[in-house]
Amino acid sequence: MSAVWKLHQQARLRLLGLTGRFLGGEGRAGAKRSLYESLRAGWAWRHFAMELAFHRTVTRYRTTLLGPVWIVLGFVIFSFGMVFLSSRLFGLPWERLLPYVVVGLFGWNLILGVLSEGPRALVESANLLQQSQTPVVLYPIVSTIKQVLIAAHNIPVVIAVVVLTPNALSPNVAWAIPGFAAIIVFAGSTCVILAIIATYIPDVAEVVTSALRFVFFFTPIFWMADTRPGLATIWLWNPFYYFVEAFRGPVLGTSDPLQILPVASAIAFGSAILAFILARCMSRNTITRL
């Protein structure tokens, strides 16, 4: 508990120091920029974004006894519970399901966390946004970084399961890196889109939460796609499948990365372009609506 509190205080002091450099004056958050200027401005704010994301992550632990252990415990309990249930429902051996479910849930939880926070990203940061020169897209990016930090807690579990399960690790595991990058680009871009839309339609948070619960059951996470060919028309048109499989496929060898990754990359690129256009055209009106 004392170690968590120390991290919280250190993150808070660093964040206050960075915030003091940018507060005050008339911000350019609503100003329109070219793509190059937007990327350059975003890069200039990278330290502030990282510190704010780290501060918000550590704040989660301040009032808990076990701190980040709860994240790992929750992931382990849910993963093993789904493996136990799925092995009974579908008659599959647990040693085949365990790495499939654990790696799939790792990717899904990252997407779920970012998209769930998306509609609240700007609303919860309204004071900082209105009183500083920070760009609108910064706070959805902070939410994305925060969820990446939270997901990183579960990496040791994923590595342990994949390494200890016989014949689970694929020789194409290096392809998981661009797959993970595609997840971050897609989730971060969608977070920006949802954050801006939420300033116009406040109920979008409830819609997203309900929709993601529904999509979870239609995405091959706790059930294996190759054992349910009759559902191919469902999961092949499910964009979330391509992002989960873009990371899981190279790790476990459950799919060809040259077939999955181009689709995931195309969707991620399209969402990034849409997010940039939306932020460029509506950022000024977004600030006034907060």
| pLDDT: which is higher, 6 or 224 | 224
* Alpha-helix residue ranges (DSSP H) falling in 201-238: 204-217, 232-235
Place of tokens 């206050």: 16
The domain segmentation of the chain, as residue ranges, is 91-290
Helix (H, G, I), strand (E, B) or coil at 290: coil
Give pLDDT, residue 183.
Answer: 96
Q: Has residue 139 got a pLDDT over 90?
A: no
Q: Do 44 and 21 touch, CB atoms closer than 8 A?
A: no
In one letter, which amino acid is 267?
I
In one letter, which amino acid is 38?
S
Q: Has residue 34 got a pLDDT over 60?
A: no
Q: What is the mean predicted confidence (pLDDT) over 138-160?
A: 92
Give the pLDDT band of residue 180 (cuts 50, 70, 90). very high
Give pLDDT, residue 28.
Answer: 46
Q: What is the mean predicted confidence (pLDDT) over 173-194?
A: 94
DSSP state of 132: B
Give the C-alpha separation, 262 to 264, whole Å: 6
Give the C-alpha separation, 84 to 98, whole Å: 9
DSSP state of 222: S
Give the pLDDT band of residue 278 (cuts 50, 70, 90). confident
Of the listed ranges 5-14, 128-137, 152-161, the least confidently predicted one is 5-14
Give pLDDT, residue 106.
Answer: 96
DSSP state of 125: T
Q: Model-level pTM? A: 0.83
Q: How many CB atoms lie within 10 A of CB 32?
A: 12
